Amino acid sequence: MSAVFDSLSRFYASSIGKKILVALTGLVLIGFVLGHMIGNLLIFVGRDAINEYGHMLQTALHGGGVWIARLGLLACVLIHVVATVSLTKASRAARPDAYGRHKAQVSSTASRTMIWSGLTILAFVVYHLLHFTAHVGNDYATYKTTLHGEAVHDVYRMVIAGFSWAPASIFYLIAMALLCSHLSHGFSSLFQTLGISTDKTEPVFKKAGYAFAGLIFAGNAAIVLSIWLFGYGS
Ligand code: HEM
């Protein structure tokens, strides 16, 4: 047991170990962001479709499914953030030059701002959970509707109400743009860390990263903009 613990802590202590953890947890979070966006787009199918989906998530495994997913996601977010902050600190400490003279960089803006876009996304997720999951400062928990004769949470009405308020919509759009910047770099760099992308295939992974980030932005922004600017659902 202590041998396993020893090798795990040696793995985490090494820079490559931390990078692999950042890549693997990033992959899980990418899967979540894609799945969540596809689920959210059900709003365009109609009230019953998104409410049925929300109800299914809440009741899977007698209510245990959502908690397993929450704890899994929380663990991934914590590992991803703690390991990245530690890698950033170590790389800054190894480059005392960075505090004084700034050398011309060939890296992209997205790659240089990963830590900031990442921390802003974290702040957005906290706001988002208070807004749509904990229903802090609103009465969305009281929104109910009937589905197949059963009273369920009216997720459709909640999302329409949420994005009918301009400040929330603007904040979501800014967060989505930062998420897009974060994903565009993170996507290709995770395949590099895991050794899947080679020098030859790197440009393909880079393009795939931009395409993926653009898709996530377009899907999520379509929901916000169609409600806020075009009055969808009201
Ligand atoms: C326009 C974009 C988005 C919309 C419309 C949206 C919508 C929602 C809704 C309606 C819920 C509550 C589900 C329920 O009541 O059962 C939710 C939960 C959640 N969303 Fe989003 N979301 C968006 C973007 C995002 C993004 C970009 C992330 C992550 C970076 C995210 C992370 C989460 C998380 C972690 C939960 C909590 C799930 C739970 O524990 O219940 N969302 N979202």
Query: Contact at 8 Å (CB) between 21 and 78?
Result: no
**101 lies in a domain?**
no
pLDDT number for residue 104: 45
**100 lies in a domain?**
no
**177 lies in a domain?**
yes
Instruction: Print the domain residue range for 83.
Output: 2-95+107-228
Q: How far away, in angstroms, is 86 Cα from ligand 1 center?
A: 27
pLDDT number for residue 6: 87
**233 lies in a domain?**
no
Residue ranges around ligand 1 (CB below 6 Å): 33, 36, 40, 54, 57-58, 66, 70, 73, 121, 125, 128-129, 132-133, 155, 159, 172, 179, 220, 223-224
* Among 45, 125, 132, residue to substitute to test ligand 1 (most atoms within 8 Å of Cβ): 132
pLDDT number for residue 56: 97
For the entire predicted model, the pTM comes to: 0.91
**220 lies in a domain?**
yes
pLDDT number for residue 9: 87
**203 lies in a domain?**
yes
Structural domain tally of the chain?
1
**102 lies in a domain?**
no
**88 lies in a domain?**
yes
Q: How far away, in angstroms, is 49 Cα from ligand 1 center?
A: 16
Return per-residue pLDDT of the chain as tens, 234 residues: 678 888 888 888 899 999 999 999 999 999 999 999 999 999 999 999 999 999 999 999 999 999 999 999 999 999 999 999 999 888 888 765 555 555 545 577 777 889 899 999 999 999 999 999 999 999 999 999 999 999 999 999 999 999 999 999 999 999 999 999 999 999 999 999 999 998 899 999 999 999 999 999 999 999 999 999 999 998
pLDDT number for residue 68: 98
pLDDT number for residue 1: 61
